């Protein structure tokens, strides 16, 4: 992982520990409410990478993923060999401190950089959204669901290119230190704008960009 400025990017993902029985799901299902403003990052290999990736490459990727997640303070809520979901809970932004949206977008950018530099290239689709998220435990297996997870996955799978971060307008509006970063606008068939962040675009704080 690229660890420069680790202190700036190290955030702690906090989950609510308030649990209650979910009556609508039936007896024995424990429901946990996560914060209703959770930054989510979904990732998935492209079809060709999923089919052709070697075991050593897969191990290297997951080692990088764990290192980058630790760097920015992201938590794993879904983990699979070829796709996954990570979160940071959105807290009140403080001046000079990156938001959790900054953090997960930075995480996505680091993964895309790693994939682009791999030989052969590891093609990764990355989507980021922020919004509601909930968790239930069914037969001792935690299941996360909600708008933020759903949209992040859709953004990952609908990205026009691999190894770029595809983010929603809601995620873009959650930037603080990354609010000056250069993004490409993509207008979907429904007329909704989403945004693409290239892996090599400098993720500079707005204050630094204003000095140019």
Of residues 150 and 21, which shows the higher confidence score?
150
Q: What angle do CA 75, 80, 82 make, to 5 degrees?
A: 115
Is the entire prediction scored with pTM above 0.75? Answer: yes
What token pair was written down for 33? 């409410």
**Entry field: residues in the chain:** 212
For residue 28, pLDDT over 60 is answered with no
Mean pLDDT across the stretch 45-51?
Answer: 97
Please state, in angstroms and rounded to a whole number, the distance separating the CA atoms of residues 29 and 47. Answer: 35
For residue 80, pLDDT over 70 is answered with yes
10-14, 162-166, 208-212: least confidently modelled range:
10-14
């Amino acid at each position: 992982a690229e660890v420069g400025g680790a202190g700036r990017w190290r955030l702690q993902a906090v989950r609510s520990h308030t649990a209650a029985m979910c009556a609508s799901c039936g007896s024995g299902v424990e429901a946990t409410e996560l914060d209703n403003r959770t930054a989510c990052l979904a990732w998935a290999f492209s079809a060709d990478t999923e089919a052709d990736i070697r075991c050593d490459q897969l191990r290297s990727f997951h080692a990088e993923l764990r290192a980058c997640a630790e760097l920015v303070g992201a938590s794993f809520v879904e983990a699979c060999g070829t796709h996954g979901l990570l979160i940071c809970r959105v807290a009140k932004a403080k001046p000079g401190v990156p938001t959790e949206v900054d953090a997960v977008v930075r995480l996505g950018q680091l993964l895309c950089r790693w994939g682009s530099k791999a030989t052969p290239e590891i093609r990764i689709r990355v989507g980021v959204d922020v919004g509601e998220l909930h968790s239930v435990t069914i037969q001792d297996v935690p299941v996360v669901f909600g708008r933020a997870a759903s949209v992040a996955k859709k953004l990952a799978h609908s990205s026009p290119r691999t190894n770029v971060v595809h983010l929603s307008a809601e995620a873009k509006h959650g930037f603080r230190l990354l609010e000056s970063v250069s993004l490409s606008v993509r207008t979907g068939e429904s007329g909704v704008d989403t945004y693409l962040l290239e892996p090599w675009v400098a993720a500079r704080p707005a204050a630094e960009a204003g000095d140019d």
